[in-house]
Amino acid sequence: MLPPSPAGRFAPSPSGDLHIGNLRTAVLAWLFAHATGRGFAIRMEDLDRVRPGSDVRQLRDLAALGLSWDEPVVYQSQRLEEYRAVVDELVAAGRTFECYCTRREILEAPSAPHAPQGAYPGTCRDLSEAQRAQRRSERPAAIRLRAEVSSFTVHDLLYGEFTGDVDDFVLVRNDGTPAYNLAVVVDDAATGVDQVVRGDDLLSSAPRQAFLATLLGHRPPEYAHVPMVLNRSGARLAKRNGAVTLTDLAGHGVDAASALSMMAESLGLAAAGEPVTLSVLAERFDPSTLVRTPWVFVPPE
């Protein structure tokens, strides 16, 4: 079987409609992939809370902006056996341990000097078998990676070399659900995704994911963490901020084409009110001149 072709991707969680910040990131991911001759994949990260029908509406909104993607759309909920197989290999290799800590216990535990707040302090790393048996009787175990490193460096097209903390992060939650950091690494490698474009709020997670990819024998993807879209208070944009989805905007007379024009203007790819298409933006797009500051979006009243 031939390996999958190189691709970029957009990976939403189908927990509701996409807001204009999500859609802008999707447009950027498509533009980065197109500019580098890659395919473009959509992955539904549906291992957590899901609202029925959200995936259909998200795909509809992406198509309304002119995005196209390689089929099929990948659903993480259909890949549980693949995640389990990877975890089983890591367990067999002695690269994991069971953890019984709650989030509160981790936050309240003394941490190593210079460790970031909330970093796993190693509480369950070296428990005896008797101690593990006792803790198992009290609550289910999560599975953590024995990282054996404290940091890892990635290259980001916008941020350059970025070194971030790597702790013994969770691979499988104590309810048996594969954790985000595991699933995205396994999925990207399996589907040929070697370019990850996403919001810069996720930059700090890239070193963990790149380290795990390397540990599993994969080359980490090329990263581009793009500026966020903020509300008028300077906080991360959310659906509660008013007319921020395509459906909401349509109720204020802003159609998908106009929304794309607004995004293009915010990226320095179009003049105010200029009608554009993705094909036009692809011709103008130059990653080296991408706007590096957040876009403050003010919804129409």
What are the residues whose beta carbons fall under 8 Å from the beta carbon of 151, sequence distance 6 or more? 163, 164, 165, 166, 207
Q: What is the pLDDT at residue 115? A: 60
Q: Please, what's the b/e burial string for 31-70 (b: 16 or more CB within 10 A of its CB; e: otherwise)?
A: bbbbeeebbbbbbbbbbeebeeebbebbbebbebbbbebb
CA dihedral for 90, 101, 153, 199, sign (positive or negative): positive
Asked whether residue 154 is domain-assigned, the answer is yes
Total number of domains in the chain = 2
C-alpha to C-alpha distance for 178 and 190, rounded to whole angstroms: 16
Residue 297's closest CA among 238, 214, 209, 224? 238
> What's the whole-number mean pLDDT along residues 234-248?
89
**Binding-site residue set for L-glutamate:** 9-13, 45, 180, 198
How sure is the predictor about 235, in pLDDT bands with cuts at 50, 70 and 90? very high
Q: What percent of the chain is predicted at pLDDT more than 70? A: 96
**Binding-site residue set:** 9-13, 45, 99, 101, 120, 124, 180, 198, 239
Q: How far is CA 135 from CA 38, 90, 131, 205, 256, in A?
A: 48, 22, 6, 29, 53
Residue 239 annotated in active site? yes
156: domain CATH number is 3.90.800.10
**Binding-site residue set for Zn(2+):** 99, 101, 120, 124
Asked whether residue 88 is domain-assigned, the answer is yes
Boundaries of domain holding 110: 81-182
> What's the whole-number mean pLDDT along residues 79-108?
95
How sure is the predictor about 11, in pLDDT bands with cuts at 50, 70 and 90? very high
Same domain, 60 and 99: no
Q: What percent of the chain is predicted at pLDDT more than 90? A: 87
270: domain CATH number is 3.40.50.620
Q: What is the pLDDT at residue 107? A: 83
Q: What is the pLDDT at residue 112? A: 55
Q: What is the pLDDT at residue 105? A: 87
Angle at the Cα of 198 from the Cα atoms of 86 and 192, rounded to 5 degrees: 45
Task: Tell which wins on pLDDT, 98 or 49.
Answer: 98
For residue 143, give both structure tokens: 């599975």
Mean pLDDT of the chain: 94
Q: What is the pLDDT of residues 184-198, one digit of tens each?
A: 999 999 999 999 999
Q: What is the pLDDT at residue 4? A: 79
Q: What is the pLDDT at residue 108? A: 82
Q: Choose the final residue of a domain: 182, 201, 235.
A: 182
- The one catalytic residue in 239, 250, 280, 287 is 239
How sure is the predictor about 72, in pLDDT bands with cuts at 50, 70 and 90? very high
**pLDDT tops 90 at residue 62:** yes
Asked whether residue 155 is domain-assigned, the answer is yes
Q: What is the pLDDT at residue 119? A: 81
Name which of 53-67, 127-141, 233-247, 273-287 the model is least confident about: 233-247
Contact (CB, 8 A) for 173 and 181: no
Residue 83's closest CA among 193, 209, 213, 184? 184
Q: Choose the final residue of a domain: 182, 214, 247.
A: 182
**Binding-site residue set for ATP:** 239
Same domain, 91 and 178: yes
> What's the whole-number mean pLDDT along residues 152-177?
96
C-alpha to C-alpha distance for 111 and 119, rounded to whole angstroms: 7
Q: What is the pLDDT at residue 117? A: 65
Q: What is the pLDDT of residues 99-152, one digit of tens each?
A: 999 888 888 877 655 566 668 989 999 999 999 999 999 999 999 999 999 999
Asked whether residue 217 is domain-assigned, the answer is no
Q: What is the pLDDT at residue 3? A: 65
